[in-house]
């Protein structure tokens, strides 16, 4: 199989890890290393990095994610020296950098790919818009890559032989609740509601609406759902269990909690539309909303109570050249000097133009 030259820094990093792990496998008798890819995205400043570091048992200080960052986790398999690898991608900037999903979602990773969507429960007025845009961008890219792989497979072996690549549609068990009524996300999806320590102080009716809405969305996409807080050790342990299931294939806990007065813990397949019920409304006439489908109905009810902010306006990203965590004294001093020279040139140029006697 011809080796594909990586085109980006992130792909080079992933290729380097894969190369090292292949070497480890050869030293352990040729047993293959299990590799999975997990893509974390969600609310801006919603705690993605903090949650990831806690799930990896790392004590590194949490720093804002500038764009798209790559790291990896390894876990020993039993008593063997062989270690399974999880390639971890984290998207910063909330929805402003959603175009970058094309980097982690690649032909080489789609067969073992999963997504974690982290939503800031303390900011319900940005929750639906963030969730909708990020899920749409990721699903579009997954379906695009899947289609390209299937076309390549057909052209290689012929249409009569079909395709062996993974399509962008999960096959659920026949006894999956509401199987005919839902639209499963193309790959395993985990929705995490972060900052529960703040959310638990909300008005009970508003907590109920947020909780039931996220239960509906999770069940509709055949996803798992959990509410957590980095300030709660017990909630982080449960969150780590869900994370390890996606990253390393471990068994996730069987705990289920659907009480809106408590942190939600809803594994895939443990909920149903009959348990969720209809959108909780007090002053909203559902019949007046003219919804196209159940998901649209939930959206309209939610946005009546929590009018959504325009997430497209949140495009302000700090200049990496001025970020203290990337300080380089010599380079920064040279940059400052060049900035001064550029400003002086602009002033001189303006004076020159003003001094010209232009003919009319």
> For 283-316, how does the pLDDT look when each residue is reduced to its tens digit (9 = 90+)?
666 666 778 899 999 999 999 999 998 655 444 4
The pLDDT confidence band at residue 319, using thresholds 50, 70 and 90, is: low
Residue 202 pLDDT > 70, yes or no? yes
311-322 as b/e: b if 16+ CB within 10 A: beebeeeeeeee
Structure-model confidence comparison of residues 66 and 110, the more confident one: 110
pLDDT at 344: 80
Q: What is the mean pLDDT of residues 43-50?
A: 95
Region 215-222: what's the mean pLDDT?
98
Position 26 scores a pLDDT of 42
pLDDT digit string, tens, across residues 54-96: 999 998 888 888 789 999 999 887 666 678 999 999 999 889 8
Nearest alpha-carbon partner for 22 in 38, 33, 12: 33
The predicted pLDDT at position 242 comes to 97
- Is the predicted pLDDT of residue 19 greater than 50, yes or no? yes
The rounded mean pLDDT for the chain is 83
Q: Is the overall model pTM greater than 0.95, yes or no? A: no
At 159 the pLDDT is 52
43-52, 238-247, 341-350: which has the minimum mean pLDDT? 341-350
Looking at per-residue pLDDT, the higher value among 327 and 254 belongs to: 254
Q: Which has more pLDDT, 121 or 32?
A: 121
Mean pLDDT of 248-276: 94
- Residue 103: CA count within 13 A, CB half-sphere: 24
Instruction: Please determine, for residue 3, whether its predicted confidence score (pLDDT) is greater than 50.
Output: no
Which residue reads 């039931």 in tokens?
A: 212
Nearest CA-CA partner of 38 in 117, 99, 97, 96: 117
The string of pLDDT tens digits covering residues 142-199 is 999 998 888 888 887 665 444 444 455 678 999 999 999 999 999 999 999 999 999 9
| Per-residue pLDDT at 213 | 97
Residue 130's alpha-carbon distances to 93, 98, 120, 293, in angstroms, are 11, 10, 10, 20
**Res 224 pLDDT > 50:** yes
pLDDT band at 135 (very low <50, low <70, confident <90, very high): very high
Between 140 and 350, the higher pLDDT residue: 140
Q: What is the CATH number of domain 36-155+173-312?
A: 3.40.50.300
Distances (CA, A) of 291 to 210, 285, 301, 303: 19, 12, 10, 13
More confident residue, 350 or 248: 248
- Compute the distance between CA of residue 98 and CA of residue 101 in angstroms, rounded to an integer: 6
Report pLDDT for 323. 61
Q: Which residue has the higher pLDDT, 244 or 158?
A: 244
Residues 327, 330, 335, 336, CA torsion sign = positive
Using DSSP's 3-state secondary structure scheme, residue 19 falls into helix
Q: How many CB atoms lie within 10 A of CB 335?
A: 13
**What pLDDT score was predicted for residue 321?**
63
């Amino acid at each position: 199989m011809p080796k594909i030259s990586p085109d980006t820094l992130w792909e080079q990093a992933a290729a380097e890890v894969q190369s090292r792990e292949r070497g480890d496998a050869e030293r352990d008798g040729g047993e293959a290393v299990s590799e999975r890819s997990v893509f974390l995205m969600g609310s801006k400043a919603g705690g993605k990095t903090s949650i990831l570091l806690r799930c990896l048992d790392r004590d590194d200080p949490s720093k804002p994610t500038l764009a798209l960052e790559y790291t990896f986790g390894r876990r020993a398999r039993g008593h063997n020296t062989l270690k399974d690898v999880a390639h971890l991608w984290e998207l910063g900037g909330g929805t402003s950098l959603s175009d970058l999903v094309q980097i982690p979602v690649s032909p080489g990773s789609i067969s073992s790919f999963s997504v974690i969507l982290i939503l800031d429960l303390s900011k319900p007025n940005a929750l639906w818009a963030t969730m909708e845009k990020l899920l749409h961008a990721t699903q579009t890219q997954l379906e695009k890559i899947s289609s390209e792989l299937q076309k390549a497979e057909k052209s290689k072996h012929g249409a009569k032989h079909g395709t062996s690549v993974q399509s962008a549609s999960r096959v659920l068990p026949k006894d999956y609740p509401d199987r005919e009524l839902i639209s499963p996300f193309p790959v395993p999806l985990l929705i995490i509601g972060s900052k529960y320590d703040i959310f638990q102080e909300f008005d009970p009716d508003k907590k109920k609406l947020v909780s039931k809405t996220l239960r509906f969305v999770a069940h509709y996409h055949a996803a798992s759902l959990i509410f957590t807080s980095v300030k709660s050790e017990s909630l982080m342990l449960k969150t780590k269990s869900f994370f390890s299931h996606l990253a390393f294939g471990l068994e996730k806990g069987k705990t289920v909690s659907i009480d809106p007065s408590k942190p939600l813990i809803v594994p895939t397949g443990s909920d149903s539309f009959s348990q969720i019920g209809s959108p909780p409304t007090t002053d909203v006439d559902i019949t007046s909303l003219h919804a196209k489908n159940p998901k649209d109905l939930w959206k309209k009810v939610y946005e009546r109570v929590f009018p959504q902010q325009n997430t497209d306006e949140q495009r302000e990203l700090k200049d990496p050249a001025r970020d203290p965590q990337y300080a380089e004294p010599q380079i920064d001093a040279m940059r400052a000097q060049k900035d001064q020279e550029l400003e002086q040139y602009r002033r001189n140029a303006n004076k020159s133009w003003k001094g010209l006697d232009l003919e009319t």
